[in-house]
Amino acid sequence: MSKELSKNASELLTNIRNKGPLVWNFSNFVSMDIAANALLSIGASPAMAHAREESKDFIKICKAINGALTINIGTFDPYWQECALEAAKHANENNVPWVLDPVGAGASSFRNKNVEELMKFKPTILRGNGSEIMAVAGLSEGGKGVDSTSTSNDALDAAISIADQNNIIVAVTGITDYVTDGSVTYAIEGGHEMMTKVTATGCALSCLIGAAIAVGENKILSTASIIGIYGLAGEIASKISQGPGSLRMKLLDQLYNISADEIISNVKIKNV
């Protein structure tokens, strides 16, 4: 594992805390609370807003103050779909970085259509689990609802293919996390199995990626770095938690308290 890469991760965290970037989130109903609190804990400023009528205003704000947008399709309905497409369109037109989380891709034709339409607006980052990324690539029917039945290793080739074909960055998360732009790929070790027992921890990570790409010029390295920071926070939290309930609370505490020295010493990122 590279100390230089872990040092970059510590610098990213400092940058987020100093700048407090605005992250505008189309987060699903299940994840709104933990996503907003994760952003606040790490030092960013969340906006959870979904009205189509606000789209142009929020994009103007994000552009003016170097913020970011995240879109999560987890609990879309037709109106929400229209709002998200409008936001993605404005983000693309105004060069505002944005993250697409294709929750449950492959589980229904409606979800697949949402992903297909949103991908046209070139997300800066596509972040999903193994099954979701393989579904986006058209390689499988996806996973068990929002749960992954394919590993991140299974999905790495699909992630590289999506990145190459769409000129975007793809993050596939699992036991080992990967971030790729098609030519450069980072592997990140970290996290804890108990995190899978707390709903929307992956959704919260997608919003944190929004904070990372808002402040970090190197989008692929910033994405790998925030995944490493989040995984480390989850590892530390798991050691002092009695179960998923206390892990949720301790995870937020660790995002708030994690130090640059802890990141430099313990975040595990490498080129592959």
What would you report as the CA-atom Rg of the chain, rounded to the nearest whole angstrom? 17
Kindly tell me the sign of the dihedral angle through the C-alpha atoms of 209, 212, 217, 220. negative
Cα–Cα distance between 170 and 156 in angstroms, integer?
Answer: 9
For the 3-271 domain, the top CATH level (class) is alpha beta
Cβ contacts of 249 within 8 Å, gap of 6 or more:
none
Distance of alpha carbon 25 from the chain centroid: 11
267: left (phi over 0), alpha (psi -120 to 50) or beta: beta
Task: Assess contact for 2 and 40: CB atoms under 8 A.
Answer: no
**What is the model's pLDDT at position 228?**
98
Q: For position 143, what pLDDT does the model report? A: 46
Residue 237: what pLDDT? 97
The token duo for 172 is 């596939």
- Using the CB atoms, write b or e for 36-56: b if 16+ within 10 Å: bbbbebbbbbbbbebeeebbe
Long-range CB pairs of 175-178, under 8 A, 24+ apart, other chains included: 175/151, 176/152, 177/152, 177/224, 177/227, 177/231, 178/152, 178/272
Integer Cα distance of 66 and 96 in angstroms: 8
Give counts: helices (H), strands (E), the chain.
Answer: 11, 9
Which among 1, 19, 41, 8 is positioned nearest to 205, based on CA atoms?
41
Terminal alpha carbon distance of the chain: 10
pTM of the model as a whole: 0.94
pLDDT value, residue 149: 54
* pLDDT tens track, the chain, 272 positions: 678 999 999 999 999 999 999 999 998 999 999 999 999 999 999 999 988 888 889 999 999 999 999 999 999 999 999 999 999 999 999 999 999 999 999 999 999 999 999 999 999 999 999 999 999 998 544 444 445 456 788 899 999 999 999 999 999 999 999 999 999 999 999 999 999 999 999 999 999 999 999 999 999 999 999 999 999 999 999 999 999 999 999 999 999 999 999 999 999 999 99
